[in-house]
Amino acid sequence: MSQQHPDVPFAITLDVGSSLANRTGSWRSERPVYLDRLPPCNDACPAGENIQAWLGHAEEGNYEAAWQEVMRNNPLPAIMGRACYHPCEGACNRSALDDAVNIHAVERFLGDQAIEKGWMPAVAATSSGKQVLVIGAGPSGLSAAYHLRRLGHAVTIHEAGPVPGGMMRFGIPAYRLPRDIVQAEIDRILAMGVELELNHKVEDIQAEMQDGRFDACFLAVGAHLAKRVDIPTPDAGKILDAIGVLREMETGDDPPLLGRRVVVYGGGNTAIDMARTAKRLGAEEAIIVYRRTREMMPAHDFEVEEALAEGVILNWLTTIKEIDDSGSFVVEKMALNDDGWPEPTGEFDTIEADSLVLALGQNVDTGFIAKVPGVEIAKDGVIQVGPDMMTGFAGLFAGGDMVPSERTVTVAVGHGKQAARHIDAWLRGERYEHPPRPELAGVDKLNSWYYADAPKTVQPELEIIRRQTSFDEVHRGLDETNALYEARRCLSCGNCFECDNCYGVCPDNAVIKLGPGKRFEFNYDYCKGCGICATECPCGAIKMVPEEI
């Protein structure tokens, strides 16, 4: 004790800090450990984006780093920020506090910034010497091409149509996804050295691969065959399919003629898009007929709301039986049975309309694929792939709408990335192993008191009158201030964001701060295992584990 001060009184007077000799860590029955949990947004993202990571860069105002982080998984942020149905936001823990973080708006902001500023993604410096053929220039094919290119492979896309983009052009109306944005992001991929051959319809995959000396092929031609139902009609010309109409919007010289009253049959997002497009094409009435209830519609609720706001009429619990000789649509009312499923009631009614657009889903054109040996067609007419996304034919991979999965642009982009990883591994004679998923950072893991109340930024919307008459983009983007604000609403669920709480709240000084970006360490010599750090960690990045005694 009184070594520094031999003159001071014995025992009563002590040298400062001498309690460091007392290792209180021996009291502990549980120890805190830092861990990284999986944020719900990342967990929900079909494209496998590390949303939290890029929001983190954005929170610091480092937008290019944020965008580069997005680009590690998704080559189309400006598109995805508009077209994605953002399951991330549905999973966002922030909704338990106020509203989910407006993730897609920030992503869109980053994507737009990148286009404006001409940012380019990093590409592997060395070439692998391998060549990969991608068939189809939709979101899945473009994504695969992009990722394969990043990995150093030479990529050629063969696209049957006259323009690249696939469903990004033919499935999503311009008022949701402006075409200049689509083109800009595709151009950026091409600028990385991806070869694109348009109007190149592949009939014989094996021959194409051999002729082009491709080492592997990713097949992503989507699902373009509209499903039809048999509706008796005296005038077949009155019945159109939504995909055809939307495609014609992109490729035809004149807008399709639908008439003043248009009936759209179906309850999915395409039905909504179709109805809203019909309004914009001048239809006085656009009526959606759906056989189940409003709640059961597969379309996203916010899109239904937007459609209703624009004057689209919704007839649910209704089926179309026939178009009679006078041209009237005979419809039957449905009712939910005890199990909650719609059943015919025998009550009929008629609707007057000029055209019927079917939006009942699409099938894959599997004709040319079925010829490839080993390729299996699953039920529903989609291509069977393994967990590595490879078909039964070695070196032939497939993804997007043509494999069993949810059909969204985001899923397609995710497929492209996964396929690229598997192809890359396969080309090296290896297997790609997805790293194990950490445990989920659910809302129960958070201590939300530390986050200030901050309702989400509402993206400005175009006025209704303009929405009913033009294809101008409905949603405006965020500007820098509100994008920053929005990024800062992220709770960083499950991952330390160096808030210093653990360092501050430890009654035993048993947390060592390692400095910016280096996070913290526990000093188990002194940690008594009280667990305050874990309880007060706002984002759930600490857990208590029993000591082995």
Find the binding residues for another protein in span 73-132 (CB under 8 A): none
Q: Which two tokens stand for residue 350?
A: 């008629």
> Shortest approach of another protein to residue 113 CB, angstroms?
18
Q: Which two tokens stand for residue 102?
A: 């407006």
**What is the contact mask toward another protein in residues 514 to 543, using x (rule: CB under 8 A)?**
-x-------x-xx-xxxxx-xxx-xx----
Region 470-499 residues binding another protein, contact defined as CB under 8 A: 476, 481-482, 485, 488-492, 497-499
Contact call for residue 42 and another protein (CB under 8 A): no
Contact call for residue 12 and another protein (CB under 8 A): yes
If the CB atoms of residues 105 and 246 are measured against another protein, the closer one turns out to be 105
Contact call for residue 19 and another protein (CB under 8 A): yes
If the CB atoms of residues 6 and 340 are measured against another protein, the closer one turns out to be 6
> Shortest approach of another protein to residue 441 CB, angstroms?
14
Contact call for residue 236 and another protein (CB under 8 A): no
Measured in degrees and rounded to the nearest 5, phi and psi for residue 352 equal -90, 130
Chain mean position to CA 108: 12
> Shortest approach of another protein to residue 27 CB, angstroms?
7
If the CB atoms of residues 8 and 336 are measured against another protein, the closer one turns out to be 8
Alpha-carbon span 216 to 206, nearest angstrom: 10
Residue 92's nearest CA partner among 529, 476, 494 is: 494
State the virtual CA torsion across 504, 506, 512, 516 in degrees, nearest 10: -30
Find all residues with CB under 8 Å of 260, minimum gap 6, and list them.
282, 283, 284, 285, 354
> Shortest approach of another protein to residue 536 CB, angstroms?
5
Chain mean position to CA 175: 19
Alpha-carbon span 202 to 182, nearest angstrom: 24
Q: Which two tokens stand for residue 83?
A: 């077209």
| Residue type, position 68, single letter | Q
Contact call for residue 65 and another protein (CB under 8 A): no
> Shortest approach of another protein to residue 93 CB, angstroms?
12
> Shortest approach of another protein to residue 506 CB, angstroms?
8
The SS3 of residue 116 is helix
Contact call for residue 455 and another protein (CB under 8 A): yes
Contact call for residue 451 and another protein (CB under 8 A): yes
Choose, by CB under 8 A, the member of 230, 254, 463, 548 that binds another protein.
Answer: 463
> Shortest approach of another protein to residue 13 CB, angstroms?
5
Contact call for residue 549 and another protein (CB under 8 A): no
Each residue of 260-272: b (16+ CB within 10 Å) or e? ebbbbbbbbbbbb
Count of chain residues binding another protein (CB under 8 A): 76
| Residue type, position 302, single letter | F
Contact call for residue 232 and another protein (CB under 8 A): no
> Shortest approach of another protein to residue 178 CB, angstroms?
16
Alpha-carbon span 402 to 422, nearest angstrom: 18
If the CB atoms of residues 110 and 245 are measured against another protein, the closer one turns out to be 110
Choose, by CB under 8 A, the member of 257, 431, 509, 545 that binds another protein.
Answer: 509
Contact call for residue 368 and another protein (CB under 8 A): no
Contact call for residue 504 and another protein (CB under 8 A): yes
How many residues are there in the chain? 549
If the CB atoms of residues 27 and 341 are measured against another protein, the closer one turns out to be 27
> Shortest approach of another protein to residue 175 CB, angstroms?
14
The sheet carrying 131-135 orders its strands as 195-197, 154-158, 131-135, 216-219, 396-398
Inter-axis angle of helices 63-71 and 51-59, to 10 degrees? 170
Region 44-63 residues binding another protein, contact defined as CB under 8 A: 59
Give the single-character DSSP code of 25: G
Q: What is the DSSP string of 250-308?
A: HH-SSPPP--SEEEEE--SHHHHHHHHHHHHTT-SEEEEE-SS-TTT-SS-HHHHHHHH
> Shortest approach of another protein to residue 15 CB, angstroms?
6
Contact call for residue 450 and another protein (CB under 8 A): yes
If the CB atoms of residues 65 and 192 are measured against another protein, the closer one turns out to be 65
Contact call for residue 8 and another protein (CB under 8 A): yes
Contact call for residue 501 and another protein (CB under 8 A): yes
If the CB atoms of residues 65 and 462 are measured against another protein, the closer one turns out to be 462
If the CB atoms of residues 190 and 443 are measured against another protein, the closer one turns out to be 443
Contact call for residue 309 and another protein (CB under 8 A): no
Region 407-426 residues binding another protein, contact defined as CB under 8 A: none
Region 380-409 residues binding another protein, contact defined as CB under 8 A: none
User: Do the strands 542-546 and 30-34 form a parallel or antiparallel pair, or are they unpaired?
Assistant: antiparallel
> Shortest approach of another protein to residue 276 CB, angstroms?
18
> Shortest approach of another protein to residue 3 CB, angstroms?
11
Choose, by CB under 8 A, the member of 99, 503, 519, 524 that binds another protein.
Answer: 503
Alpha-carbon span 76 to 184, nearest angstrom: 9
User: Do the strands 195-197 and 342-352 form a parallel or antiparallel pair, or are they unpaired?
Assistant: unpaired
Contact call for residue 187 and another protein (CB under 8 A): no
**Do 451 and 95 touch, CB atoms closer than 8 A?**
no
If the CB atoms of residues 6 and 436 are measured against another protein, the closer one turns out to be 6
- 3-class DSSP string for 152-207: CCEEEEECCCCCCCCHHHHCCCCCCCCHHHHHHHHHHHHHCCCEEECCCCCCCHHH
> Shortest approach of another protein to residue 24 CB, angstroms?
6
Alpha-carbon span 56 to 517, nearest angstrom: 12
Burial class of residue 135 (count of CB atoms within 10 Å of its CB; 0-12, 13-18, 19+):
buried
If the CB atoms of residues 265 and 520 are measured against another protein, the closer one turns out to be 520
If the CB atoms of residues 101 and 390 are measured against another protein, the closer one turns out to be 101
